[in-house]
Amino acid sequence: MPNINSLRETRASKITALRALGDTPDATKFDALETEVRALDTQIKNAATLAEFERQADAAPDTRLDAEVREFSVAKAIRESVAGGLTGREAEVSAELGKGREVRGIMVPTAAIFGEQRAMTVGTAANGGNTVATNLGGLIDRLRPVLAVQGLGATVISGLVGNLDLPRLTSGPQAYWISEDAATTASDSHFDKVSLTPRTVSGEMYMSRRLTLQSGVAIENLLRNDLAFVLAQALDSAAIQGGGSNEPDGILETITANATSETELSDIAADLIAALEIDDVSGSTGFLTSPKLLATVRKVKDDNNRIIPVSDIFHGEKVVSSNNVPDDAGSPAKEHLIYGAWSNLVIGYWSGVDILANPYSDASKGGLRLHAFLDADIAIRHPEAFSYKAV
């Protein structure tokens, strides 16, 4: 993140230079300095905005908001939207999230979809019949990926309205050794930007008529988990690789594979860590890989046939696996091992989850088709904060 104090000091020096031009300044010099001051004002504003976003992300969670989200009923909101209008808490939250945006259905907080990590309490057959009540026991949920990059510490910025430019410091002031009473050499900070623009990710699911009318236990968690499955899978996959049609570019699409020639996993991991240390990248770090590679790592043994702990192979770093990590599609296929300072991966949300309940496309069956839309984007603030190798 740009140093706001450095920006302000640079601005102050430009103001001093303007004053030094006197009452009848050279027009060309004055205009050039004025342009620089206005550009610095914009950079200071953007840097302050980003700092506030990060401060909010690092702050303690708002327990009141958590309570509101927990009590928001996705199922109730969908039923009432089909009947003609929302009431109560669901109406208030949807209206608040929809301010200044085009909403085609109902707005559901992203935290209600992604923030809940509770397990399914009951289950469903293919058409929902097993959720119809009489003393249902615990449900066997289907396997689903999770938003792994967020768990590793990706920066999440929500509530966005317009496009977002994140100023990025590319080079800073330099220090010089000078002789007694000599003038120092001026040097300025230089910036570029990383831009986030809303992109829409969408998913669809179908609910039978009996499921919506008769299920007394499964419907709320079913909706939350299945919608989370559809959208989180798309977001996680785009953050890790991306680059497809209408997708943002993810880590594997943006950076070049590490050139290490090592073949032992522990040595490869050491070189990936070293790549970040050479670039002086700091922040919450960790490895992301596929379950297949992690399964191989768990079988590594020493010369005495004793299992080597995973933490030893990865030098004490956090390790997360996800089915969303693709193989390299080579022959034979290899598995990607990614190391990063994950706060440099930015996920921006422009909306809650917009759910459009459509009772007409399957009217002959009386079912309800749900279309879920989420406006989000993914950007990598500093590519040098990540390194990877296919092993």
In a shared domain, residues 381 and 252: yes
In a shared domain, residues 266 and 353: yes
**pLDDT digits over 202-221, tens only?**
888 888 877 766 554 456 66
Position 107 scores a pLDDT of: 80
Residue 363: alpha-carbon gap to chain centroid: 37
In a shared domain, residues 119 and 174: no
What would the mean pLDDT of 183-209 be, rounded to a whole number? Answer: 83
pLDDT band at 142 (very low <50, low <70, confident <90, very high): very low
What would the mean pLDDT of 177-184 be, rounded to a whole number? Answer: 84
b/e string for 234-244 if b means 16 or more Cβ within 10 A? bbbbbbbbbee
In a shared domain, residues 177 and 326: no
Task: Report cis status (omega within 30 of 0) of the bond before 248.
Answer: no
In a shared domain, residues 252 and 182: no
Position 133 scores a pLDDT of: 42
What would the mean pLDDT of 111-121 be, rounded to a whole number? Answer: 47
In a shared domain, residues 184 and 76: no
What does the chain come to in residues? Answer: 391
Residue 185: domain span: 4-58+163-189
**CB of 346 within 8 A of CB of 168?**
no
In a shared domain, residues 156 and 205: yes
Judged against a pLDDT cut of 50, whether residue 353 lies above it is answered with yes
**pLDDT digits over 52-75, tens only?**
666 655 554 455 555 666 677 777
In a shared domain, residues 178 and 318: no
In a shared domain, residues 179 and 275: no
Give the residue with greater pLDDT, 215 vs 43.
Answer: 43
Q: Rounded to an integer, what distance in angstroms lies between the CA atom of residue 356 and that of residue 371?
A: 5
Q: Rounded to an integer, what distance in angstroms lies between the CA atom of residue 102 and that of residue 105?
A: 9
pLDDT band at 165 (very low <50, low <70, confident <90, very high): confident
Distances (CA, A) of 75 to 50, 60, 261, 293, 352: 35, 29, 53, 39, 16
- Say which CATH number the domain at 174 has: 1.20.120
First-to-last alpha carbon distance for the chain, in angstroms, is: 33
Q: Which residues pair with 390 in a beta bridge?
A: 336
Number of structural domains, the chain?
A: 2
Judged against a pLDDT cut of 50, whether residue 194 lies above it is answered with yes
